């Protein structure tokens, strides 16, 4: 759709369900996938809570949108940077998060993890490399 390729970073720092930001930012990512840009997502601070497994919203009546994260690979969004210090501060590990994978077409469609665990310093480096940073 566009000749110019920019590095887009979607920054997620808020927990799901208490506010709509997590869900509506995911909608931007999915629509944005059609533009063939170099897309990454950052999960830090309370944003890491968006990726927990076992979300069951039946009791609160809100739409459970957590499965959408698992579809990101189909949209070629394969770089989900999750900050380790943010997990640690919240008593979480990678095991508490969903298994999100993509198929690497350059490697015989091998399934690989989309979640990239990074340190705070590495997250800062990722942020500093971007052309467009969208925060929600």
Partner 1 sequence: MKFGIVVSEGPYTHQASDSAYNFVKAALAKGHEVSRVFFYHDGVNVGTRLSIPPQDDRQIQEQWTALAKEHDLDLVICIAAAQRRGLLDQNEADRQGKDANNIAEGFRISGLGQLIEMGIQADRTITFGD
Partner 2 sequence: MATLHTVNKSPFQNPTLISCLGHAKAGDAVLMIEDGVYGAMNGTALSDAMATLGGDVSLYVLGDDLAARGIDAARLADGVTSVDYDGFVDLAANHDRTQNWL
Where on the chain is the footprint of partner 1 (CB under 8 A)?
2, 4, 6, 8, 20-21, 24, 27-28, 31-32, 34-35, 37, 132-136
The only residue of 44, 97, 100, 118 in contact with partner 2, by rule CB under 8 A: 44
Residues numbered 65-124 forming contacts with partner 2, rule: CB under 8 A: 120, 123-124
CA distance 14 to 28: 16
Q: Name which of 1 and 121 has its Cβ closer to partner 1.
A: 1
The only residue of 10, 11, 48, 72 in contact with partner 2, by rule CB under 8 A: 11
Question: What is the chain's Cα-based Rg?
Answer: 15
DSSP H stretches of helix in the chain: 21-32, 67-71, 84-89, 120-128
**DSSP labels for 64-75?**
--THHHHHGGGG
Asked whether 29 and 72 are in contact (CB, 8 A), the reply is yes
Footprint of partner 2 (CB under 8 A)? 11, 13, 44-45, 120, 123-125, 127-128, 130-133, 135-136
């Amino acid at each position: 759709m566009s000749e110019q390729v920019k590095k887009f970073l979607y920054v997620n720092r808020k927990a799901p369900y208490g506010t709509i930001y997590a869900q509506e930012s995911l909608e931007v990512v999915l629509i944005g996938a059609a533009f063939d840009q170099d897309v990454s997502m950052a999960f830090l601070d309370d944003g890491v809570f968006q990726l927990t497994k076992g979300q069951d919203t039946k009791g609160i009546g809100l739409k459970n949108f957590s499965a959408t994260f698992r579809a990101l690979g189909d949209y070629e969004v394969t770089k989900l940077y999750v900050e380790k210090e943010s997990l640690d501060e919240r008593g979480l590990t990678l095991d508490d998060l969903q298994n999100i994978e993509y198929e690497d077409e350059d490697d015989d469609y091998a399934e690989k993890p989309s979640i990239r665990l990074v340190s705070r310093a590495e997250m800062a480096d990722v942020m500093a490399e971007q052309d467009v940073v969208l925060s929600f």
